[in-house]
Structure 1
């Protein structure tokens, strides 16, 4: 019997317009009433996801900034890992940030180097938004995630340069084709999921997980019952070819699979 459902948001639980599907919310609420627990695992900021959780109407654990922060359903922080400040200061310089929209995720704030109104579409349900700051001169403290947004081809080159320069000093992944994300080396959704499983006293074999992109890889490898979205990044499918694929987020694939798994 499944006891915990861990799910990504964008490209997975949320509709393609990055909003909550009412039928999906109703499905989660029904399962919660049956005693099922939830963990929302995303690259988004904690303050953003807390608001989305309210729209979903469930008491979920929040794994945010790709696992750099974990909060319980009462918003108590139970896990946090930051990038070393000197690495933040180096990674925010033009050598790495040129050609991208650069952001920093702090515990309670989102700093951006220059306005980017295109990002508004991701925050319709939460209302959480950035503050423009002098990011290249920020001291590097309290940074859970560095986010570079840009053209995929450019980000692929940037990914290679960061890996070559820093090797195992950082965890580097994509949350979308246009989003390259950098965290401390021990951060991942998979590691954060083990924290939640430990808090709940649930074995991984009683956990199902849903994801669509490379930052979901470790979470899918941790859960006993992992599922890849039909709209998944081909690199994720290639990395985990044995995992079952379900319907896309446009088809509310997570809700459809949960109906099948729980017989509702």
Structure 2
């Protein structure tokens, strides 16, 4: 049976500059040539991740928007789940989002309530992916894969508490980073999406190894037969999977080094 290799991007597969390094790209290219299946699983937008996959130089399934979208290596959409429009509209009102920079992902791109050029400078240097300013409070709520709140962690924990108190059973909510709180439909997660990809390819979960560093990787590592936690992982991920092995950090090319060790490269 084929083996699946699935990895998060930021803080996991990408370096500290959020770029693909040559050592990692060469490792994955070698494994892909040997027949291993590869999946990228990230909170990033599909349009952004296509460019990262191209930089890695491998055919890979893409789990994006924390599992709200799944595409095959030829960019065919095989799964999509949006937030219910009425709920999306409520989540984008100031009484919920106050204290943060409000963002939303739709198929056409990335919407932000106001200019924030530093966002592009940090994460999207290579891909060229960028946002469009939009009055999100007046948005119809149609076609929204996920809503993001960016800001100081304390402010985001307050937003999280407000959302859980009002809509706890209607959302999947997680931190993708210390400064980024994200909300999706309740059936969405990287783990749910990974299950769908494995079923599509006929790969047993026991033949899947997964790598992650964030709270939004908890479900994905639970699905995989072999899960690995980055040294730089969030405390919430480490607490959720205390028995999983901890490998090198993303700055130490931890994923590529572990894969070379596992598959005798």
Q: Cα offset for 1:85?
A: 0.4
Q: How many residues align?
A: 264
RMSD: 0.9
Tell me which residue corresponds to 1:46.
Answer: 46
Q: Distance in 2 between matches of 1:80 and 1:6?
A: 19
Tell me which residue corresponds to 1:65.
Answer: 65
Tell me which residue corresponds to 1:263.
Answer: 264
Tell me which residue corresponds to 1:222.
Answer: 223
TM-score, length basis structure 2: 0.98
Give 3-state SS (helix, strand or coil) of 2:103's partner: strand
CA contact under 8 A between 2:228 and 2:244: conserved in structure 1?
A: yes
Give 3-state SS (helix, strand or coil) of 1:231's partner: coil
Q: Distance in 2 between matches of 1:188 and 1:255?
A: 24
CA contact under 8 A between 1:123 and 1:129: conserved in structure 2?
A: yes
Q: Structure 1 residue 243 and structure 2 residue 244: aligned? A: yes
Give 3-state SS (helix, strand or coil) of 2:246's partner: coil
Stretches of structure 2 that go unaligned for 5 or more consecutive residues are: none
Give 3-state SS (helix, strand or coil) of 1:110's partner: strand
CA contact under 8 A between 2:15 and 2:21: conserved in structure 1?
A: yes
Q: Structure 1 residue 9 and structure 2 residue 9: aligned? A: yes
CA contact under 8 A between 1:7 and 1:209: conserved in structure 2?
A: yes
Give 3-state SS (helix, strand or coil) of 1:175's partner: strand
Tell me which residue corresponds to 1:18.
Answer: 18
Q: Distance in 1 between matches of 2:20 and 2:250?
A: 11
String of CA shifts for 1:144-187, please: whole Å, max 9, x gaps: 00000000111111111111110110000000000000000000
Q: Distance in 2 between matches of 1:126 and 1:94?
A: 31
Q: Distance in 2 between matches of 1:110 and 1:43?
A: 12
String of CA shifts for 1:170-214, please: whole Å, max 9, x gaps: 000000000000000000000000111011100000000000000
